[in-house]
Amino acid sequence: MSIEAGEAPQWIKATRSGNNMNCVEMRRDGDVIEVRDSKDQAGPVLRYTPAEFAAWLDGAKKGEFDHLA
């Protein structure tokens, strides 16, 4: 995905979530991955480096957080 100068990065969410507004949305803004709750788009945004986000994603894929659900 390329972003033109002056254009805000688009928020994305899982395609399986459909039109439901109970989702985690994310976007890349420069060197930062931003994550927010789709129900509260004006609310807080969590910001991670690509390395931090990759480590979290790897842990999720390996089931390291399954005990939290």
How do residues 43-62 score in pLDDT, each as one tens digit? 999 999 999 999 999 999 99
Can you give the pTM of this predicted structure?
A: 0.76
Tokens encoding 23 = 């989702």
C-alpha dihedral over 10, 14, 20, 26, to 10 degrees?
-40
Q: In what helix (H) or strand (E) does residue 44 lie, and over which residues does it extend?
A: none
Q: Distance (Å, rounded) from C-alpha 20 to C-alpha 60?
A: 22
pLDDT band at 3 (very low <50, low <70, confident <90, very high): very low
